Amino acid sequence: EVQLVESGGGLVQPGGSLRLSCAASGFTFSSNWMHWVRQAPGKGPVWVSRINSDGSSTSYADSVKGRFTISRDNAKNTLYLQMNSLRAEDTAVYYCARKGPGTGTFDPWGQGTLVTVSS
């Protein structure tokens, strides 16, 4: 069974940092592109970042470019999101997701980890 399990969320002050992790199992992690998608309370999902299978290529939404860094460790089957200079508007549930069928879909998603940026 394919599983994605996020961790690392929590309460952080504005300007602070957090590193999220996503542990993958049940599939060949090293062969798959991976994404981070976030969802603020009561809002629709918003794509954050993606990384290719070997980690050599990354992309970011404009809202996080220069502040967030996506990375992966294929030996540990783990995806990461380093978040710096956090703002109140970064408050959301953060999901990791595998690239799904049709080139740009997300399937499956993890259960999510909540990041709250507040003083």
State the residues that interact with another protein by CB under 8 A.
43-47, 50, 59, 61, 95, 100-112
Query: Based on CB atoms, which residue is closest to another protein, 9 or 110?
Result: 110
Here the tokens at position 47 are 């794509």
Beta-strand relationship, 34-39 and 58-60: unpaired
Task: Find out whether 49 and 64 touch, Cβ atoms under 8 Å.
Answer: yes
Task: Output the six-digit token pair for 113.
Answer: 């980890």
Nearer Cβ to another protein (55/100): 100
CB of 79 to another protein, least distance (A): 15
- Token pair 């002050």 in the structure block, residue: 13
Minimal distance, residue 33 CB to another protein, in Å = 10
Is residue 111 within 8 A of residue 6, CB to CB? The reply is yes
Closer to another protein at the Cβ: 23 or 46? 46
Cβ of residue 72: shortest distance to another protein, in angstroms? 16
